[in-house]
Amino acid sequence: MEELIIRGGRRLRGELQVQGAKNSVLPILAATLLANGVVTLRNCPRLRDVETSVKILRALGCTASWDGDALTVDTSAFRDCAISDALTREMRSSVIFLGAILARCGQAACSMPGGCQLGPRPIDLHLSGLRAMGAEICERGETLRCDGCRLRGTDITLSTPSVGATENLMLAACGADGVSVISNAAREPEIVDLAQFLNACGGDVRGAGSSTVTVAGRRETHGCAYRVMPDRIAAATYLCAAASAGGDIYLRGARARDLGAVLAALRESGCDAAPDSDGIALRTPPRLKAIGPVRTAPYPGFPTDAQSVLMAALLKADGATVFEENLFESRYRHVGELRRMGADIRVFGRVAVVNGVTDLRGASVECTDLRGGAALCVAALAADGETHVSALRHLDRGYEDIRRDLSRLGADIVRVTDCESV
Ligand code: UD1
């Protein structure tokens, strides 16, 4: 069994380069199926969900190879249009391949991605949008079979601005005859990154970043070289880590325009956040103060993915902070683990109230999910004594190397396997 051992109490100092965005590169990897040529993705993060996407591409007949942080994908030998049950289960967002495979070959099959640690995660909007484009979808038990033959462009209005559904429908629309208009589309920066990638390959996607995305299908496409955007949630994690431990850090590559709600919260807590054209500097006060209610919402609201790490940063703040989680049902699973470290948090349905305490203590805790696990690391940096963080498979899905990054900033953190340092 592997664990991180973190000894709290050290201020963070120094500079860190932010990894490429997980939530951007996953749909872009699916989108490589639509490029008629070789694609090279730079700033591609090396993490488990990316490896799973690469496995899916290889299982479909494509080739992929790494050179440093560049991943080159050649989809010319694509031959299969079904994703195995095992790969669908490994990563929920494998469902994003559905739209791309349908656009490429007119049919697709995969397993139904079940609920996961965050509560039920339906894909009804993905499926109804694909059906509106003319796909025939048969849901039999745990299996989904889609027959698109010829998808046709159409107008689709999402009842909620789902990130995954917007991406899936953008991909399918690229292979449809005519123009598709997606209304109430998600506006997340990762949607903009996907659109820019598709356009770099010769696609015609307009309006990404607004609530209306228009896609003209069946364009002549080609390969391209593309740089993946920086990961705003990894950036938020390290900003919150510094806010928790205290410190003075510079995150190279972090884009303030993607992090407006997070920076506003950190500033309200007393941090000095100074963005420039290359990154963001953060300096913290001796003690953070509690802030007004943090309500998660679709972009540009406060990101649900940063809720847990901000909560962890505010555990020792002066006063009480109220959180309201509005995206996912079970997104407070880290709370029980934080309590083991001495946190004072009460949960009432979708609301959590954090009363700042003066001390946290090291404890043995377990990652409950990806961002919940990051929150445990953030809290451990401000705790007295040693914290042992286990179930690292969750962290490995989304962070290239959280141990490396935090230790670059001066944290006392090691990763051990059966008590041996690795
Ligand atoms: C993506 C991100 C995830 C982030 C989330 C919200 C990736 C790989 N993951 O997940 O990190 O937390 O956006 O910012 O990019 N919904 C439906 N029906 C659907 C689809 C979604 O009801 O068909 C609901 C969900 O239950 C949820 C809300 O819409 O309440 C938002 O989910 P969505 O934006 O789709 O999240 P994901 O794309 O799964």
Tens-place pLDDT, residues 339-364: 999 999 999 999 999 999 999 999 99
> Mean pLDDT of all residues in the chain?
95
Considering the domain architecture, whether residues 217 and 77 belong to the same structural domain is answered as yes
214: three-class secondary structure by DSSP: strand
- 137 DSSP assignment: E
312 inside domain: yes
**114 close to ligand 1 (CB < 6 Angstrom):** no
Query: Phi, psi at residue 371, to the nearest 5°?
Result: -75, -30
Distance from Cα 162 to the centre of ligand 1, integer Å? 5
Considering the domain architecture, whether residues 123 and 239 belong to the same structural domain is answered as no
**123 close to ligand 1 (CB < 6 Angstrom):** yes
pLDDT at 149: 78
Instruction: Report how far residue 90's alpha carbon sits from residue 73's, in angstroms, rounded to the nearest whole number.
Output: 21
Active site residue 116: yes
Considering the domain architecture, whether residues 57 and 7 belong to the same structural domain is answered as no
Considering the domain architecture, whether residues 207 and 267 belong to the same structural domain is answered as no
Q: What mean pLDDT comes out for the span 102-125? A: 81
Distance from Cα 79 to the centre of ligand 1, integer Å? 30
pLDDT at 330: 80
Q: What order of strands is seen across the sheet that includes strand 63-67? A: 63-67, 70-74, 38-42, 224-227
Name 210's Cβ contacts closer than 8 Å, sequence gap at least 6: 185, 187
Closest CA to 237 of 343, 370, 374: 374
pLDDT in tens, 297-348: 999 999 999 999 999 999 999 999 999 999 998 899 999 999 999 999 999 9
410 inside domain: yes
Considering the domain architecture, whether residues 217 and 251 belong to the same structural domain is answered as no
**pLDDT value at 111 more than 90:** no
Question: Choosing from 116, 240, 271, 419, which is the catalytic residue?
Answer: 116
pLDDT in tens, 362-400: 999 999 999 999 999 999 999 999 999 999 999 999 999
**115 close to ligand 1 (CB < 6 Angstrom):** no
How many CB atoms are located within 10 Å of the residue 413 CB? Answer: 23
Closest CA to 347 of 332, 365, 328: 332
For strand 143-147 and strand 107-111, is the pairing parallel, antiparallel, or unpaired? antiparallel
Chosen domain end from 195, 211, 227? 227
Considering the domain architecture, whether residues 237 and 345 belong to the same structural domain is answered as yes
Distance from Cα 9 to the centre of ligand 1, integer Å? 36
262 inside domain: yes
pLDDT in tens, 252-264: 999 999 999 999 9
How many degrees, rounded to 5, is the angle at CA 12 between CA 10 and CA 13? 130
Considering the domain architecture, whether residues 148 and 251 belong to the same structural domain is answered as no
Q: What mean pLDDT comes out for the span 58-83? A: 95
pLDDT at 141: 80
56 inside domain: yes
CATH number for the domain that contains residue 200: 3.65.10.10
154 inside domain: yes
Contact 131, 144 (CB under 8 A): no
Considering the domain architecture, whether residues 60 and 193 belong to the same structural domain is answered as yes
Tokens of 134: 């003319």
Q: What mean pLDDT comes out for the span 284-293? A: 98
pLDDT at 420: 59
405 inside domain: yes
User: Partners of 108 in the beta sheet?
Assistant: 146
Q: What is the CA radius of gyration of the chain?
A: 21
**304 close to ligand 1 (CB < 6 Angstrom):** yes
pLDDT at 307: 98
Chosen domain end from 227, 246, 262? 227
In ligand 1, the atom with minimum distance to the C-alpha of 188 is 14
pLDDT at 378: 98
Closest CA to 22 of 133, 112, 96, 101: 96
138 inside domain: yes
pLDDT at 346: 97
Tokens of 197: 């990638």
DSSP conformation letters of 151-179:
-B--EEE-SS--HHHHHHHHHHHHTSBSE
In ligand 1, the atom with minimum distance to the C-alpha of 328 is 30
Considering the domain architecture, whether residues 220 and 273 belong to the same structural domain is answered as no
Chosen domain end from 227, 246, 261? 227
422 inside domain: no
Tokens of 392: 């690292």
pLDDT at 113: 72
Pocket test for ligand 1, best of 162, 169, 228, 229 (most atoms within 8 A of CB): 162
Rounded to the nearest 10°, the torsion over CA 381, 382, 385, 390 is: -40
Q: What mean pLDDT comes out for the span 87-100? A: 88
pLDDT in tens, 27-51: 999 999 999 999 999 999 999 999 9
pLDDT at 422: 45
Considering the domain architecture, whether residues 30 and 129 belong to the same structural domain is answered as yes
Pocket test for ligand 1, best of 91, 160, 169 (most atoms within 8 A of CB): 160
Considering the domain architecture, whether residues 9 and 39 belong to the same structural domain is answered as no
Instruction: Report how far residue 158's alpha carbon sits from residue 161's, in angstroms, rounded to the nearest whole number.
Output: 6
Closest CA to 146 of 136, 154, 131: 136
pLDDT in tens, 72-93: 999 999 988 999 888 888 887 8
Pocket test for ligand 1, best of 170, 190, 327 (most atoms within 8 A of CB): 327
Contact 213, 172 (CB under 8 A): no
Quick one: pLDDT band at residue 1, thresholds 50, 70, 90? confident
Instruction: Report how far residue 379's alpha carbon sits from residue 315's, in angstroms, rounded to the nearest whole number.
Output: 8
pLDDT in tens, 154-184: 999 999 999 999 999 999 999 999 999 999 9
Considering the domain architecture, whether residues 183 and 241 belong to the same structural domain is answered as no
In ligand 1, the atom with minimum distance to the C-alpha of 167 is 38
Domain of residue 41 covers 22-227
Q: What mean pLDDT comes out for the span 132-149? A: 89
Q: List the single range of 83-87, 118-122, 215-219, 292-296 with lowest mean pLDDT.
A: 118-122
The domain tally of the chain equals 2
